Amino acid sequence: MTKPSPFLNPGQTTKAGSLAIVHLSRDNLVPAILDDTVGEVNGYAEGTVINTRFGSFPHSTLIGQPWGSQIRASVVDTGSRGRKRKVRDDTDEPSNDTEEAASAKKPATAASGFVHVLPPTPEIWTMSLPHRTQVVYTPDYSYILHRIRARPGMRIIEAGAGSGSFTHASVRAVYNGYPTAAEDRKGKVYSFEFNEARFQAMEREVKAHDLSDLVQITHRDVYNDGFLVNGESPEADCVFLDLPAPWKALPHLSRHRPATEAVNGQDQPWVSPLRSDRAVHLCTFSPCIEQVTRTVDAMRRLGWMEIEMVEVAHKRIGVLRERVGLNMPGDRGSNQSPYDVAEAVNRLREVEGRFKEFHGRNQKAAKSANDDDVDMNDSVEASAAETNGAGREAAAEPPSDNAPSVPSFMMGRLVHRTEPEIKTHTSYLVFAVLPQEWTEEQEAAAFEKWPCGKESKVIGSLDKETRKKEKRELLKGKKKRKSEK
């Protein structure tokens, strides 16, 4: 058995050679296979280093840490790199031992900057993975896996693998331990991809994430060549198709040789990739309605039941403090307009008062020197500006009921907003079920084992009339009791 995947069982601490997620900020998560190479790597004496805008983090500082740890940035000498690039950055601390790299260099902690290190999960992976294609995001894949009943011990077919976002989510769903022997039947993902480069990238990834025993990735055009692996059936319980033309793949997902295939290869026995002794759940994922129409038509022809099409509308929601008021601190995120009508009126009164005061004064002055029009206009403007400023100052004095000690993070009203940009459409999800076959022989055997004719009582629903009658009687009874009281 290989070591368990960090996705499924990360253990308690980060390990060298294993995937970890470096959390920089909400939308900036960096996956890294931790490397404990001692000595210079890429010109860094500290070994492999992750450089971020929050500082530099040599892998050695990330290894062997409890998951979730906050890791301080290190002072990393970039001298040799800098020289190689001929861009010498003067702000870096000078260092003398750059060139004697062969020995390990213990990184020195920097004065500021930090990251957190998290264990990988499909959710984080989906946010941080290298995109090779469009991917299926958490709101869609969570619902899909739920609906197609991808549960521990199930076998799931997935095509195409693309960037592996869905692959990681589905392996977690079906995982029920690593197989201990070749014939040991465990939950497994059978993934197919026909693009060579993507197939190879997936293979590398699956290996790097210690998922090789749980994800079988096959280089295949499934439209033409179906879903068998080495001629054998995956015996899938559930299927997910994220392909441009699902209807071209569907005939392969039959219980019997589909009519379309009858011409070629008639002589060989046909093997179904589906599990024969239970219903199989399927989901296809297509962005366009025309694809849906064709897919659903094919599903109906091929005997899929309970066909249903849905869309998932998902929103991320931001939470913020809406700080509106003349007395709010003048930093970003505050809106220094009146909090309410009272505040507005108060301020207007103040402006008014100051204006009158000034005007009164001025009128007196005007009486004494009434030939100075221009001057007067200027001073009115000036005074108005002054009044504005003064008004603001006056309003900035906190109202008596608002204790002056309220910290800024508690000011204002707590509100929420939909994220600035919503994914209004990802794809249409078509679900369907293919029941297992049930032959007349099987039915006869079951009837034999469970004979009829000795029914003792009736279960289930009564028809409307009987129910109404019962209700009427119940109500009557209640009324009686009430009147008795």
List binders of ligand SAM among 79-138 (CB under 6 A): 133-136
CB of 312 to ligand SAM, least distance (A): 14
Q: Are 67 and 34 in contact (CB under 8 A)?
A: no
Tokens matching residue 113: 């900057």
Which contiguous run of DSSP H or E holds residue 416? Answer: strand 413-418
Tokens matching residue 260: 């379309």
Go through 122-150 and write b for each residue having 16 or more CB atoms within 10 A of its CB, e for each that does not: bebbbbbbeebeebbbbebbbbbbebbbb
Residue 450 sits at the vertex; the CA angle it makes with 444 and 451, to the nearest 5 degrees, is 80
Q: Does 163 bind ligand SAM (CB under 6 A)?
A: yes
Q: If DSSP codes are grouped into helix, strand and coil, which group holds residue 259?
A: helix
Give, as ranges, the residues between 181 and 210 that touch ligand SAM (CB under 6 A): 192-195, 198
Give, as ranges, the residues between 127 and 166 that touch another protein (CB under 8 A): 138-139, 141-143, 145-147, 149, 151-154
CB-based burial label for 467 (10 Å; 0-12, 13-18, 19+):
exposed
| Candidate list 10, 47, 162, 391; residue touching ligand SAM; CB under 6 A | 162
Q: Does 298 bind another protein (CB under 8 A)?
A: no
Tokens matching residue 382: 């000036």
CB of 365 to another protein, least distance (A): 50
CB of 65 to ligand SAM, least distance (A): 30
Tell me the window of 110-118, 203-211, 370-378, 382-390 that interacts with another protein (CB under 8 A): 110-118
Give the count of residues interacting with ligand SAM (CB under 6 A): 23
Q: Which amino acid, residue 115?
A: V
CB-based burial label for 27 (10 Å; 0-12, 13-18, 19+):
exposed
Q: Are 169 and 197 in contact (CB under 8 A)?
A: no
Tokens matching residue 322: 């809406």
Give, as ranges, the residues between 391 and 430 that touch another protein (CB under 8 A): 407-410, 414-416, 428, 430
Residue 355 sits at the vertex; the CA angle it makes with 350 and 361, to the nearest 5 degrees, is 130
CB of 329 to ligand SAM, least distance (A): 45
| Candidate list 292, 326, 328, 395; residue touching another protein; CB under 8 A | 292
Q: If DSSP codes are grouped into helix, strand and coil, which group holds residue 229?
A: strand
Q: Does 17 bind another protein (CB under 8 A)?
A: no
Q: Is the CB of 73 or the CB of 136 nearer to ligand SAM?
A: 136
Any alpha helices (H) in 129-268, and if so which ranges? 138-147, 165-174, 196-208, 222-225, 246-249
CB of 394 to ligand SAM, least distance (A): 59
Q: Is the CB of 192 or the CB of 428 nearer to ligand SAM?
A: 192
Q: Is the CB of 114 or the CB of 358 nearer to another protein?
A: 114
Q: Does 86 bind another protein (CB under 8 A)?
A: no
Q: Is the CB of 205 or the CB of 235 nearer to ligand SAM?
A: 205
Which residues contact residue 362 at a Cβ distance below 8 angstroms, ignoring those fewer than 6 apart?
376, 379, 380
**Rounded CA gap, 207 and 67, in Å?**
22
**Rounded CA gap, 5 and 210, in Å?**
5
What is the layout of strands, in order, in the sheet containing 428-434?
A: 215-219, 188-193, 155-159, 238-241, 280-286, 428-434
Q: Does 304 bind another protein (CB under 8 A)?
A: yes
Q: Does 428 bind ligand SAM (CB under 6 A)?
A: no
Tell me the window of 1-9, 217-225, 228-236, 253-261 that interacts with another protein (CB under 8 A): 1-9
Q: Is the CB of 92 or the CB of 221 nearer to ligand SAM?
A: 221
CB of 306 to another protein, least distance (A): 7
Chain centroid to CA 97: how far?
A: 44
**Rounded CA gap, 365 and 354, in Å?**
16
| Candidate list 55, 162, 234, 246; residue touching another protein; CB under 8 A | 55
Q: Is the CB of 147 or the CB of 219 nearer to another protein?
A: 147
Tokens matching residue 278: 């239970």
Looking at the DSSP bridge assignments, the partners of residue 23 are 29, 116
**Rounded CA gap, 57 and 73, in Å?**
5
Q: Does 108 bind another protein (CB under 8 A)?
A: no
Give, as ranges, the residues between 222 and 251 that touch ligand SAM (CB under 6 A): 222-223, 242-244
State the binding partner of 67 from another protein, ligand SAM, none, CB within 5 to 8 A by kind: another protein
Q: Does 67 bind another protein (CB under 8 A)?
A: yes
Give, as ranges, the residues between 316 and 345 that touch another protein (CB under 8 A): 316-319, 321
Q: If DSSP codes are grouped into helix, strand and coil, which group holds residue 485?
A: coil
CB of 146 to ligand SAM, least distance (A): 16
Give, as ranges, the residues between 239 and 278 that touch another protein (CB under 8 A): 277-278
Q: Is the CB of 218 or the CB of 426 nearer to another protein?
A: 426
Q: Are 316 and 419 in contact (CB under 8 A)?
A: yes
Q: Does 165 bind ligand SAM (CB under 6 A)?
A: yes
Binding site for ligand SAM (CB under 6 A): 133-136, 159-160, 162-166, 192-195, 198, 220-223, 242-244
